[in-house]
């Protein structure tokens, strides 16, 4: 078949390319969000994330479905040898993205004020306006990403993600730093700070944070411009890899209107079901801040007594307490979102392989792909989540100890730990959604998301309204939401693909090894934190950094050994890695693989 003759990346090989890029992008993102949080403070971080949580659903509606649709259609046409259709899909998709990008930006502007009022955070408005144009540039960039993914070449997408992240860091940090320095200079000179008269430093900081958050949001827009330019240059210089012979020998292509209708038919349900992460974050952004604000007004003395030390150290005004607690909550999300973003690449990479197998009714390939995605997702999610949970406070201390958000670590750490133990649910949600989409079951994830989102709204309202739980209620709502989504999706996926999963291999063995990983991380951190000398540099605990690093390395080693000893790694997984045949033979030689 044409698909077999062409040079392309395997499911896991493609996933590794995307996962490696995602890890690098997330590391760059942490290098961005940590100093940004330290610059603009916990309140400013809350404004930034409020804007981002409106941006992501509109971004998803504007473009998330089309890259998946393009990837799916392109991979199917390549499998059938219809290469002229492949080229026409690219051209039609480009025009559709141009339209949706423009509409997305206009929608962002139109919803900015109503959203800020509903979330009770008008200070987020400048950041919303600053981030809105990035939707247009993302749409243009995603034309290329969906096209190359469908050709099973994940490298261009991976590289564009890296360039986008680098651009975001450079632009965002420079602008945020300049904004804070400008505000501080105005206050020191006795002048109004961004139009507000400030009698105290706390009032000056309260005036600066919204505009510093907007400066950080401009970094997102700048990064998308950089990523878009890279993809345009890459496509112009290196093309798409289709040969003249393939194009000449392929059948007459479908009409552009027929392709557009098919793309939209695939994309519209995908858009709805791809809102999993963004809708839950948007629900948090609106309901958490709104419910927090109402609860705090009725229980101000109790909340002040509960968080008195942190509020005093950060010079938080009473009117800003809800924003501060929400900002502390979002600090934990950097690491909570890191792990699912890595496993998400498994689902994205599975779309072409599953679509091609579905198109030619290759049920053996379907079984291999489904089991591989589930197994590798849990192999990553379980140890990473448990490790994140047991090292939550040391990690946050390491990141925020020297900045304006240091005092919020004690609030964020328990939230991060709770998410760590349940992160595997979030990691499974998007890959199972992607696989259902590839099998044509685009309506199923929409139904599971709808029920999960409703449950989350109810849970947020109930639990955040309890003063003793307050911001921690958002975690309860999220766990309930993803439990519903994952159980629903997996049941539908296995029923549709007619696959029986060996859960002992897929779940139990990785869980056993992950528990050993967590125990080793916890004990080794405690050991080295006690025996190493107490060293600090510039307010940063070097002892904590070293102890955390050693604990992570030791835990990874323990997990890898445990997985090999219990036979938790399948030979098919290893063979799909770069140089996988050689690695598999070496492991089999020593009895680690059958």
Q: Which residues contact 589 (CB under 8 A, 6 or more apart)?
A: none
Residue 351 confidence (pLDDT): 67
DSSP calls for 516-551 = HHHHHHHHHHHHHHHHS---EETTEEHHHHHHHHHH
User: Residue-wise over 131-164: b if at least 16 C-beta within 10 A, else e?
Assistant: bbbbbbbbbbbbbbbbbbbbbbbbebbbbbbbbb
Burial of 437 from C-beta contacts in 10 A (0-12 / 13-18 / 19+): buried
Residue 431 confidence (pLDDT): 86
Q: 204-257 pLDDT, tens per residue?
A: 988 999 999 999 999 999 999 999 999 999 888 888 777 787 777 777 877 878
How far apart are the C-alpha atoms of 53 and 433, rounded to whole Å? 21
pTM of structure = 0.72
Q: Where are the domains of the chain?
A: 2-501, 503-594
How far apart are the C-alpha atoms of 403 and 76, rounded to whole Å? 51
How far apart are the C-alpha atoms of 224 and 135, rounded to whole Å? 8
How far apart are the C-alpha atoms of 85 and 88, rounded to whole Å? 5
Residue 2 confidence (pLDDT): 43
How far apart are the C-alpha atoms of 460 and 476, rounded to whole Å? 8
Query: Distance of CA 285 to CAs 135, 192, 298, Å?
Result: 19, 30, 20
Structure tokens of 283? 């629900």
Q: Which residues contact 453 (CB under 8 A, 6 or more apart)?
A: 279, 280, 283, 481
| Nearest CA-CA partner of 209 in 111, 323, 79, 302 | 323
| Nearest CA-CA partner of 284 in 356, 339, 337 | 337
Low-confidence ranges of the chain (pLDDT < 70): 1-19, 21-22, 63-64, 269-270, 272-277, 280, 345-352, 572-582, 590-594
> Beta strand 536-537 with 540-541: parallel, antiparallel or unpaired?
antiparallel
| Other CB atoms within 10 Å distance of the CB of residue 589 | 9
Q: 398-436 pLDDT, tens per residue?
A: 888 777 778 889 999 999 999 999 999 999 998 888 888
Kindly state the DSSP code that residue 240 receives in the 8-state scheme. Answer: -
């Amino acid at each position: 078949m044409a698909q077999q003759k062409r040079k392309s990346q395997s499911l896991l090989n493609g996933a590794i390319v995307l996962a490696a890029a995602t890890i690098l992008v997330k590391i760059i993102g942490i290098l961005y969000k940590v100093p940004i949080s330290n610059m603009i403070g916990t309140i400013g971080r809350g404004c930034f994330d409020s804007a981002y949580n409106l941006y992501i659903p509109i971004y998803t509606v504007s473009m998330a479905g089309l890259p998946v649709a393009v990837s799916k259609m392109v991979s199917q046409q390549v499998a059938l040898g219809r290469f002229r259709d492949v080229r026409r899909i690219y051209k039609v998709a480009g025009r559709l993205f141009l339209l949706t990008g423009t509409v997305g930006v206009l929608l962002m502007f139109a919803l900015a004020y109503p959203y800020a009022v509903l979330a009770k955070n008008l200070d987020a408005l400048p950041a919303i306006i600053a981030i809105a144009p990035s939707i247009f540039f993302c749409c243009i960039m995603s034309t290329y990403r969906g096209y190359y993914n469908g050709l099973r070449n994940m490298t261009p997408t991976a590289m564009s993600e890296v360039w986008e992240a680098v651009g975001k860091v450079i632009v965002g940090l420079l602008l945020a730093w300049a904004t804070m320095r400008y505000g501080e200079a105005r206050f020191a000179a006795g002048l109004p700070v961004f139009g507000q008269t400030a009698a105290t430093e706390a009032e000056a900081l309260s005036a600066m944070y919204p505009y510093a958050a907007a400066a950080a949001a401009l970094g997102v827009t700048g990064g998308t411009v950089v990523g878009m330019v890279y993809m345009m240059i890459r496509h112009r210089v290196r093309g798409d890899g289709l040969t003249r012979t393939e194009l000449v020998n392929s059948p007459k292509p479908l009409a552009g209107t027929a392709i557009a209708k098919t793309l939209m038919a695939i994309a519209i349900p995908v858009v709805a079901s791809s809102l999993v992460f963004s809708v839950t974050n948007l629900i948090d952004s609106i309901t958490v801040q709104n419910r927090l604000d109402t609860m705090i007004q009725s229980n101000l003395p109790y909340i002040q007594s509960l968080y008195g030390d942190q509020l005093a150290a950060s010079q938080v005004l009473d009117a800003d307490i809800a924003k501060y607690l929400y900002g502390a909550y979002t600090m934990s999300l950097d690491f909570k979102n890191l792990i699912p973003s890595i496993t998400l690449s498994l689902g994205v990479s599975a779309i072409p392989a599953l679509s091609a197998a579905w198109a030619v009714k290759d049920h053996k390939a379907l079984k291999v792909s489904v089991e591989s995605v589930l197994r590798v997702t849990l192999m990553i999610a379980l140890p990473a989540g448990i490790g994140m949970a047991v090292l939550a406070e040391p990690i946050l201390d390491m990141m925020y100890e020297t900045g304006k958000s240091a005092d919020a670590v004690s609030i964020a750490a328990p939230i991060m730990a709770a998410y760590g133990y349940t992160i595997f649910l979030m990691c499974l949600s998007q890959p199972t959604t992607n696989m259902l989409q590839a099998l044509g079951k685009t309506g199923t994830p929409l139904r599971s998301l709808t029920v999960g989102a409703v449950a989350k709204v109810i849970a947020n309202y109930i639990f955040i309204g309890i003063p003793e739980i307050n911001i921690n209620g958002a975690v309860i709502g999220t766990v309930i939401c993803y439990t519903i989504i994952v159980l629903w999706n997996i049941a539908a996926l296995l029923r549709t693909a007619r696959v029986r999963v060996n859960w002992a291999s897929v779940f139990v063995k990785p869980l056993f090894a992950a528990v050993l990983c967590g125990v080793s991380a916890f004990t080794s951190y405690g050991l080295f934190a006690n025996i190493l000398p107490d060293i600090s540099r510039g307010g940063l605990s070097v002892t904590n950094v070293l102890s955390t690093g050693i604990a992570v390395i030791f835990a990874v080693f323990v997990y890898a050994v445990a997985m090999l000893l219990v036979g938790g790694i399948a030979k098919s997984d290893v063979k799909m890695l770069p140089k996988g045949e050689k690695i598999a033979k070496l492991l089999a030689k020593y009895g680690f693989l059958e």
